[in-house]
Amino acid sequence: MATKTAWGGRFQQELDTDSARFLESVSFDRRLAEEDIAGSLAHAEMLASIGVLTDDDLAKIRQGLGAIRSEIRAGTFTWDAAKEDVHMNIESALTAREGDVGARLHTGRSRNDQVATDMRLWARDACARVGRSLDRLALTLAARADDEIDTLLPAYTHIQRAQPNRLAHHLMAWVEMLDRDHGRLHDCAMRLNECPLGSGAVCATTFPLDRKLTATLLGFARPTRNSLDATADRDFLLELLSALAIASVHLSRIAEEMVWWSTQEFGFVEMADAHATGSSMMPQKKNPDVAEVVRGKSGRVIGDLVSLLVVLKGLPLGYNRDLQEDKVPVFDAVDTVSDATEVMADAMGALRFNRERMRAALGAGFVTATEVADWLAARGVPFRHAHEVAGRLVARAIEARCELAQLPLETFREEHALFDESIFVALDPETAIERRDLPGGPARARVVAAIADARARLEARGASLARTRHATP
C-alpha cells in the first residue's frame, strides 16, 4: 500500500505506507502547535510588510490560524499522520479554510527554519517553566530551613559522621545547588534566543525578508547569524538537556538522602502519608516511594541527553532528517524534571524532621574530634601534630567505649600537657558549630543571613510556594 505525500511534484510513486508511518512526527511534534502558529503569524506579518502578502491575505491568515488554534486548544482539531508533521497539518488546514493564501504563507520559508524556530520558542518557554519549579522547591527548602534553624545533626562525609552541623545549613546547601540549576537554564534561554526564520532550507532565500522584524515579533533578541548553523544544529537543545540532566542529578541526591534518612537506622525524617506507599505483603512498611522514583528518573533524563548527543555527533551540514529525533528526548526531559521537582517540593514541604533523633546522633561517632585538634592548634601546636594527638584520644575513647567529652581531663593531659578544663567547652556540639562563624559556615547568624539572602533572590524573580501545574499534551 502507499500513502499520498505532501511533496508529490517530484515523485512518480506515492510514499510506502510503512515508510510514511515510520517517518511521521505529528504524533509527538503536535506539542509545537502553539509555537508553530505564533511563528506563522509573525512570518505572515513580515511578508505583508514587504509586499509579498496583501492586507487581505494577512487578515485571512490571522483569521484561519486563530480558528485552528482554538480547535487545537479545545482538542477538536483532526491530526493527520499522512501530512507528516505539525507544520503541514496546520498549513493544510489553513489552505482548506482560506484557499491559496494558505499556500502563499510558506513563501521564503522552509520547514527547516520553521521547526528550528518552533523548537527555540518551545525551549525558551521550557527554561522558564522548569526554572519556576526549581525555584518553588528552593523556596520550600528555605522555608523549612527557617523553621529548623536550631535543629542540630551530624554532617557526613563518606556516609560517616563527621562534624556537628545545623539542619538549616544542610537544607541551604540544596538551595544553592538548585539556584545554579536555575542559572544554567537562564543562561541557556539567553543563548538560544535567536530567530532562525529567514534561513530557509539551508542558504536563506531570494525574497527580501525583514528578519529583524520577525525576530522582534517573536520576542527574540536577534536573527541567527548563519543560515546553515540555524537550521542544522541543535546545540541549544543539548544545553537545555545538559542543564536538565544536572538538575535531575541534584534532585536524585536530595531524594537519596530522604530515602536514607527515612530508614529506621537513621530515623531522621518521616515522609507524609501522601508521599509514601505501603507494601503488598508487609503491612508494617511505609516506603518513601516519591523520593525513590525521583531518584530513578534521573537516569532517564541523563539518557535523554545522551540520546541527542549521539544523534548529532555524526551529522554533516546542513539539515538532516535525523534532527526529527530531537523532540522526544527534549519533551521527555522537560516533563520529567518538571514533575519530579514539583512532587519533591510537595514532599519536602510536608515531611517531618525528627529533631530528637538528629540531636542524639551527635552523641556518637566522635563528631567533635576536629575541635580537639583546633583547640591545640589555636595554642601554637602545629596542626598536623595536634591532629595526631586528637587521633590518639579518639583511639583511647574507643578503647574506653565512651565519647571524647566523657574522657577525664587526666587522659587529655597524658596526650598533651596544654589541655585544661576549657577543652570540654570546645567539645560541646553547639559551641563547635558557633565557632565556625565564617561566610558559608554553619554558625547561626551566618545561616540566618543565608536564608534571608536566598529568599530575597528567589522572591525577586517571582518564586512562589504555589504549585505550578504542568499539563503534558
Question: Given this model, what pLDDT does residue 278 score?
Answer: 87
Give pLDDT, residue 10. Answer: 67
The predicted structure's pLDDT at residue 473: 44
Asked if 75 and 42 sit in the same domain, the reply is yes
Q: How far is CA 226 from CA 91, 106, 212, 220, 221, in A?
A: 26, 20, 14, 16, 15
36 and 66 housed in the same domain? yes
Q: Are 153 and 175 contacting, i.e. CB atoms less than 8 angstroms apart? A: no
Output the tens digit of pLDDT for each of the chain's 473 residues: 445 555 556 666 777 777 777 878 898 999 999 999 999 999 999 999 999 999 999 999 999 999 999 999 999 999 999 999 999 999 999 999 999 999 999 999 999 999 999 999 999 999 999 999 999 999 999 999 999 999 999 999 999 999 999 999 999 999 999 999 999 999 999 999 999 999 999 999 999 999 999 999 999 999 999 999 999 999 999 999 999 999 999 999 999 999 999 999 999 999 999 998 888 888 888 899 999 999 999 999 999 999 999 999 999 999 988 899 999 999 999 999 999 999 999 999 999 999 999 999 999 999 999 999 999 999 999 999 999 999 999 999 999 999 999 999 999 999 999 999 999 999 999 999 999 999 999 999 999 999 999 999 999 999 989 887 654 44
User: Sign of dihedral through CA atoms 115, 116, 120, 123?
Assistant: positive
Whether 167 is covered by a domain: the verdict is yes
Residues 78 and 177 in one domain: no
Q: What is the pLDDT of residue 471?
A: 43
Q: Which CATH number belongs to the domain containing residue 237 in this structure?
A: 1.20.200.10
CATH number of the CATH domain containing 87: 1.10.275.10
Using the 3D structure, point to which of 360, 394, 425 is the last residue of a domain. 360
The answer to whether residue 457 sits within a structural domain is: no
171 in any annotated domain: yes
Domain membership of residue 291 as a residue range? 112-360
Number of domains observed in the structure of the chain: 2
Task: Answer yes or no: do 91 and 119 share one domain.
Answer: no
Active-site residues, by number, are 158, 279
69 in any annotated domain: yes
Q: What is the pLDDT of residue 322?
A: 87
One-letter-per-residue 3-state SS of the chain: CEECCCCCCCCCCCEEHHHHHHHCCHHHHHHHHHHHHHHHHHHHHHHHHCCCCCHHHHHHHHHHHHHHHHHHHHCCCCCCHHHCCHHHHHHHHHHHHHCCHHHHCCCCCCHHHHHHHHHHHHHHHHHHHHHHHHHHHHHHHHHHHHHCCCCEEEEEECCEEEEEEEHHHHHHHHHHHHHHHHHHHHHHHHHCCEECCCCCCCCCCCCCCCHHHHHHHCCCCEECCCHHHHHHCCHHHHHHHHHHHHHHHHHHHHHHHHHHHCCCCCCCEECCHHHCECCCCCCCCCECHHHHHHHHHHHHHHHHHHHHHHHHHCCCCCCCHHHHHHHHHHHHHHHHHHHHHHHHHHHHHHCEECHHHHHHHHHCCCCCHHHHHHHHHCCCCCHHHHHHHHHHHHHHHHHHCCCHHHCCHHHHHHHCCCCCCHHHHHCCHHHHHHCCCCCCCCCHHHHHHHHHHHHHHHHHCCCCCCCCCCCCC
Q: Is residue 342 part of a domain?
A: yes
Where is the domain boundary, 89, 107, 125? 107
Which of residues 360, 382, 415 is at a domain's end? 360
210 is a domain residue: yes
The answer to whether residue 473 is domain-embedded is no
Question: 130 and 77 in one domain?
Answer: no
Shared-domain flag, residues 119 and 78: no
